[in-house]
């Protein structure tokens, strides 16, 4: 049998490391392409969590020459595209950085494949729930509304919700995207780029819209990391966790091992043309203040404090209906929030 190779962009990151063992078990060769950005990798060294069987290529996805070097040596059957700049608030002040990595980095990859005459069997893309923006809401009659982005004036006045409307969970089959941050716009662009290229080139695109991913291995030093890790660090130090708005924002927190399992299932999902984006979450949501209280209780920290502050680009509520992903991928999340918090607390570096 010919050897099989998988290339993972952003492969030394949080999700890439979590997937690395499963990928190394599956493929003859796995290459992780990662620039080891100091915001995520302050020591800029190979992560211990990256399976030793994985080759690490320290390179930037925006560098065409790096793609030429990689594709001159390897012919990937699968590409898993994880590389991205992910800061929602940060993207509003560093829009070009997010556009360069998320959009141009994707086109550099696609152009590299064309230059080398390569067509992988499939490309898996890790997109984000952020593409939905505020998503769909319903009124008392059941009619669906898309209220759009909350304005600065609205947030300054403490008007957090949309009066008379109830938020609906994200569902790629029913809820259309409406980004409210530069980051979200670049992730939706990634979806369009990968889908258009793949369908034209006879490559299978498999897209995932991930809810709030957390767990052991998430960067504890990145100021734009997920709030579960951020809150856990504060609580462990005995600090009071500050909670923005009124604390009642709903979020779906999904453990990284469950996300890894869903992505790995995408290697085998039966053909469909095209697949809908798969919504990947825990299947339930909690308010941010409930999360903060759970973490404070776990570490014996003071009760959280609701501050009334806000962050531009943040959405009010975000959760997902995951039934379609469960059916198509033969997958189900297994780590609930209490167990996930315990795992994260046990791992969190001192």
Q: What one-character DSSP code corresponds to residue 259?
A: H
Burial call 246-270: b when 16+ CB within 10 Å, e when fewer: bbebbbbbbbbbbbbbbbbbbbebe
Helix (H, G, I), strand (E, B) or coil at 89: helix
User: For residues 38, 42, 48 and 50, what is the CA-based torsion angle, rounded to 10 degrees?
Assistant: -10
Q: Name every residue whose Cβ is closer than 8 Å to that of residue 287 and which is 6 or more positions away in sequence.
A: 247, 248, 249, 250, 251
Active-site residues, by number, are 183
Asked if 175 contacts 131 with a C-beta cutoff of 8 angstroms, the reply is no
- Give the C-alpha separation, 103 to 216, whole Å: 28
Q: Please report how many Cα atoms fall inside a 13 Å half-sphere around the Cα of residue 305, on the Cβ side.
A: 10
Q: What are the start-end ranges of the H helices in the chain?
A: 14-26, 64-73, 88-93, 95-98, 105-115, 152-156, 182-201, 227-236, 256-265, 288-299, 323-329, 337-347
Tally the residues of the chain. 350
Closest CA to 109 of 222, 198, 219: 198
Kindly state the tokens that stand for 41: 């990798």
- Give the C-alpha separation, 217 to 49, whole Å: 8
Q: Give me the DSSP letters along 210-224.
A: E-EEE-TTS-SS-TT
């Amino acid at each position: 049998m010919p050897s099989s190779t998988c290339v993972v962009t952003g492969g030394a990151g949080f999700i890439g490391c979590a997937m690395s063992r499963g990928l190394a078990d599956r493929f003859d060769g796995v290459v992780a392409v990662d620039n080891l950005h100091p915001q995520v990798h302050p020591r800029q060294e190979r992560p211990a969590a990256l399976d030793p069987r994985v080759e690490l290529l320290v390179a930037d996805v925006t560098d065409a020459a790096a793609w030429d070097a990689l594709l001159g040596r390897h012919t990937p059957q699968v590409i898993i595209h994880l590389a991205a700049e992910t800061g929602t608030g940060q993207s509003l002040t560093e829009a070009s950085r997010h556009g360069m990595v998320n959009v141009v980095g994707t086109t550099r990859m696609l152009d590299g494949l064309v230059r080398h005459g390569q067509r992988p069997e499939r490309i898996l893309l890790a997109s984000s729930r952020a593409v939905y923006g505020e998503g769909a809401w319903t009124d008392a009659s059941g009619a669906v509304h898309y209220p759009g982005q909350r304005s600065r004036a609205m947030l300054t006045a403490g008007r957090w919700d949309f009066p008379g409307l109830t938020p609906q969970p994200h569902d790629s089959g029913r809820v259309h995207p409406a980004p409210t941050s530069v980051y979200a716009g670049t992730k939706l662009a990634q979806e369009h780029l990968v889908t258009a290229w793949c369908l034209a080139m006879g490559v299978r695109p498999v897209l995932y819209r991930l809810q709030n991913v957390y767990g052991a291995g998430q960067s504890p030093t990145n100021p734009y990391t997920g709030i579960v890790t951020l809150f856990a660090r504060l609580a462990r130090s005995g600090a009071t966790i500050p909670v923005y708005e009124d604390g009642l924002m709903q979020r779906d927190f999904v453990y990284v091992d469950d996300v890894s399992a869903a992505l790995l299932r995408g290697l085998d999902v039966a053909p469909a043309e095209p697949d809908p984006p798969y919504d990947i979450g825990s299947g339930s949501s909690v308010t941010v203040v409930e999360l903060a209280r759970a973490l404070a209780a776990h570490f014996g920290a003071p009760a959280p404090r609701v501050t009334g502050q806000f962050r531009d680009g943040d959405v009010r509520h975000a959760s997902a209906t995951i039934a379609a992903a469960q059916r198509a991928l033969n997958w189900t999340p297994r780590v609930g929030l209490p167990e996930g918090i315990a795992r994260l607390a046990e791992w969190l570096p001192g």
